[in-house]
C-alpha cells in the first residue's frame, strides 16, 4: 500500500491530510537570487553565561556535479564566536517534519537562541507575538543549523527545475544530505563533532540521513536526537487490517484520560505508574484480543472492554460499537464529549469547542490551530527581517500542502520503516548515540509506538546502551510546556555530554 504522507511535524489521519496544511496557490514570483547569506551578531544568556554568536541567514544552492543549480535551500545557522578550534565545537543540523513543515518549531520553540513565550501550560498569549532570550537554547553545547527542505520556508527549486525531484522520501534525503555535505564543506566543519536533530517526520529524515551521509559521503555522525519519533509507519497507520496502532496508541489515550480525570479512579494516582499498567495491558490482554479477531468470545470481549473503559474513560457501549478499535480522530472527539469539548491531537492537554457535540471527529486540532500556528508563524516572519536582517518577499511556508504528493516509491506495497537504516548506521558506527524524547500526551507520534519500534530493531546489548529515552508530561511539541522545556534542556545537555565522551 502506498502511504499517505505525514503533515508538518504531524501525522496523517484516515488517509486525509491532517489539519493545518491548507491548499495553496503557487506563487508566480520566481525564487530570488540566492546571493550570500546575511550575517548578523547576537548574544544569548544560558545558565548565567552570555554567549556571543554569528547568525547566517539565507540560501545555499545545491547543484549537480556539472555545476547546474537545482534548488535554493533556506537556512539559519548560529555559530559561537571566539572558537579557535572547530574540531572541539560540535555542529547540529536541525529540521522539523511533515513532510511540509519548515524548521521554525524547533528553531523558535526550544533549540535556537530566541524562543516564543507562552503560558506555563503551553497556551498562546494574545497577539501580536514576540520573542525573548532562550535561556534553554542548545547553543552553549553546539553550533546550530536550521534547514528548511524544498517547498518549505523560503526554499524552492531553481526556476526551470521540476520540484518533484525533491518531494519524496528518497528525494528529500538526497537534497537535505547534499545541503549538509555542502555546508559542512563550505564552513569547515568536517573536523567537528556532528549531530542531527529532527522532530516528527524530521526523525524519519534524521534516521534516513544517519545512513545516507555515512554511505554516500563517509560523513559519520556522533549523535541523533529524535524528538517525537516516528520511524516505522506501520505503528501509526490506522488501516483496516492493521491492528498494531490500536495497542500502541492506548497508553497515550490513557494518559489523556488521566489528565482530564476520565480514567478509572484506581489509576488516577502517579502517571508514570499508570503508564506501566497500561503498557502491560496493551501488550498482553488487549493485543491478544485484537489478534483473535472474530475468534474472540463474548466473555473475553466483555472482560477486555471493561478494562479498556477504565483506562480510556470511554463507555463500554462505545468501545463495543468500535470493535475495541479506537482511532485518533474518534478519540479526540469522544473523550470530552460530555463536557462539550474536544481534545488536542498534538497535545491532548489542550481543548477546543466545535459547532456541536454530535460529530464523529473534531473540526480542528486546538493544540495546533488555537495554540501554536499563529505565534510561530508571526514570530518567524518578523524575526527573519527585523533581527536577522534577511529580506525575501516569498511567502514563508510554515505548514504546506505544496510538497504533496510525497513520493514513497521506495516502499511500494509496504510501510516505510527507517529504523532499519538507523540500525545499520549504528552497526557501522558503534559510537553513534541516539536520544528519543517523547511526550505522554502526543497522539501524532505516541511514545509507546516509539518504544515498540526500538524494541524491534534487533539491536545488540552494546548497541542498546547507546539509545536513551526521556519522557515529558506534554505533547508533540513538549517544549511549549515550560516545565518540559526546562527538563528537555537538561536532557539535551546529558545527551551531548555522553555522545562526546572519548
Q: How many CA atoms lie within 13 A of 454 on its CB side?
A: 21
pLDDT top residue among 282 and 27: 282
- CATH topology (fold) of 38-234+373-434: Rossmann fold (3.40.50)
List CB contacts of 143: < 8 A, sequence separation 6 or more. 77, 78, 79, 80, 89, 90, 91, 92, 192
Per-residue pLDDT tens digits for 302-341:
999 999 999 999 999 999 999 999 999 999 999 999 999 9
Per-residue pLDDT tens digits for 69-90:
999 999 999 999 999 999 999 9
CA distances to 27, 405, 432 from 467, rounded to whole Å, are 43, 33, 9
pLDDT score of 35: 81
Alpha helix positions (H), 354-404: 366-369, 373-386
Q: Tell me how far the alpha carbon of residue 418 is from its chain's centroid.
A: 15
pLDDT score of 419: 98
Per-residue pLDDT tens digits for 108-132:
999 999 999 999 999 999 999 999 9
Burial readout 78-106 (b: 16 or more C-beta within 10 A, e: otherwise): bbbeeeeebeebbbbbbbbbbbbbbbbbb
pLDDT score of 23: 46
Q: What is the mean pLDDT of residues 29-48?
A: 84
Give the H or E element holding residue 114. Answer: strand 114-115
pLDDT score of 1: 35
Task: Give the pLDDT band (50/70/90) at residue 31.
Answer: low
For the chain, the first-to-last Cα distance in angstroms comes to 45
Task: Give the pLDDT band (50/70/90) at residue 380.
Answer: very high
Per-residue pLDDT tens digits for 230-257:
999 999 999 999 999 999 999 999 999 9
The residues that bridge with 51 in the sheet, in sequence order, are 44
**Mean of pLDDT over the chain:** 93
C-alpha cell at 241: 487490517
**Domains of the chain, residue spans:** 38-234+373-434
Task: Give the pLDDT band (50/70/90) at residue 33.
Answer: low
Q: Given the C-alpha cell 537535505, which residue does it identify?
A: 176
Three-state secondary-structure class, residue 145: strand
The residues that bridge with 225 in the sheet, in sequence order, are 197, 435
Residue 417 in this model has a pLDDT that exceeds 90: yes
In whole angstroms, give the CA distance from residue 37 to residue 56.
Answer: 6
Q: What is the DSSP string of 408-445?
A: -GGGTTS--BTHHHHHHHHHH-TT-EEEEEEETT-SSS
pLDDT score of 332: 97
Amino acid at each position: 500500500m502506498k502511504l499517505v504522507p505525514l503533515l508538518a511535524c504531524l501525522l496523517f489521519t484516515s488517509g486525509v491530510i491532517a489539519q493545518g496544511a491548507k491548499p495553496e496557490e503557487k506563487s508566480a514570483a520566481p525564487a530570488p537570487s540566492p546571493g550570500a547569506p546575511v550575517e548578523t551578531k547576537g548574544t544569548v544568556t544560558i545558565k548565567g553565561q552570555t554567549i556571543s554568536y554569528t547568525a547566517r541567514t539565507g540560501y545555499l544552492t545545491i547543484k549537480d556535479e556539472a555545476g547546474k543549480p537545482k534548488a535554493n535551500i533556506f537556512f539559519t545557522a548560529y555559530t559561537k564566536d571566539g572558537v579557535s578550534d572547530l574540531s572541539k565545537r560540535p555542529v547540529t543540523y536541525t529540521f522539523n517534519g511533515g513532510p511540509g513543515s519548515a524548521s521554525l518549531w524547533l528553531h523558535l520553540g526550544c533549540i535556537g537562541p530566541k524562543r516564543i513565550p507562552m503560558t506555563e501550560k503551553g497556551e498562546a498569549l494574545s497577539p501580536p507575538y514576540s520573542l525573548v532570550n532562550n535561556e534553554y537554547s542548545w547553543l552553549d553545547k553546539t553550533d546550530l543549523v536550521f534547514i528548511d527542505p524544498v517547498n518549505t520556508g523560503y526554499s524552492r527549486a531553481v526556476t526551470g527545475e521540476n520540484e518533484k525531484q525533491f518531494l519524496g522520501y528518497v528525494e528529500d534525503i538526497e537534497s537535505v544530505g547534499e545541503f549538509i555535505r555542502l555546508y559542512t564543506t563550505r564552513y569547515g566543519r568536517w573536523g567537528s563533532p556532528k549531530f542531527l536533530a529532527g522532530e516528527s517526520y524530521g526523525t524519519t529524515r534524521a534516521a534516513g540521513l544517519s545512513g545516507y551521509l555515512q554511505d554516500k559521503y563517509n560523513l559519520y555522525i556522533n549523535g541523533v536526537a529524535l524528538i517525537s519519533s516516528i520511524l516505522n509507519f506501520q505503528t501509526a497507520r490506522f488501516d483496516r487490517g492493521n491492528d498494531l496502532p490500536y495497542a500502541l496508541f492506548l497508553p497515550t489515550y490513557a494518559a489523556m484520560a488521566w489528565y482530564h480525570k476520565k480514567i478509572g479512579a484506581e489509576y488516577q494516582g502517579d502517571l508514570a505508574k499508570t503508564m506501566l499498567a497500561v503498557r502491560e495491558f496493551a501488550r498482553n490482554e488487549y493485543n491478544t484480543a485484537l489478534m483473535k479477531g472474530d475468534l474472540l468470545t463474548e466473555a473475553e470481549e466483555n472482560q477486555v472492554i471493561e478494562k479498556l473503559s477504565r483506562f480510556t474513560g470511554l463507555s463500554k457501549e462505545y468501545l463495543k460499537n468500535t470493535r475495541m478499535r479506537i482511532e485518533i480522530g474518534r478519540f479526540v472527539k469522544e473523550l470530552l464529549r460530555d463536557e462539550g469539548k474536544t481534545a488536542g491531537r498534538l497535545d491532548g492537554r489542550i481543548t477546543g469547542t466545535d459547532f456541536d457535540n454530535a460529530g464523529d471527529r473534531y473540526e480542528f486540532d486546538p493544540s495546533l490551530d488555537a495554540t501554536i500556528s499563529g505565534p510561530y508563524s508571526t514570530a518567524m516572519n518578523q524575526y527573519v527581517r527585523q533581527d536577522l536582517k534577511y529580506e525575501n518577499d516569498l511567502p514563508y511556508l510554515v505548514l504546506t500542502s505544496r510538497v504533496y504528493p510525497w513520493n514513497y516509491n521506495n516502499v511500494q506495497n509496504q510501510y516505510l520503516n527507517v529504523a532499519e537504516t538507523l540500525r545499520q548506521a549504528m552497526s557501522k558506527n558503534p559510537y553513534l548515540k541516539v536520544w528519543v524524547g517523547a511526550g505522554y500526551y502526543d497522539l501524532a507520534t505516541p511514545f509507546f509506538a516509539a518504544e515498540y519500534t526500538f524494541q524491534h530493531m534487533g539491536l545488540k546489548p552494546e548497541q542498546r546502551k547507546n539509545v536513551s529515552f526521556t519522557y515529558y508530561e506534554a505533547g508533540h511539541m513538549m517544549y511549549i510546556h515550560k516545565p518540559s522545556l526546562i527538563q528537555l534542556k537538561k536532557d539535551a545537555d546529558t545527551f551531548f555530554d555522553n555522545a562526546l565522551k572519548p
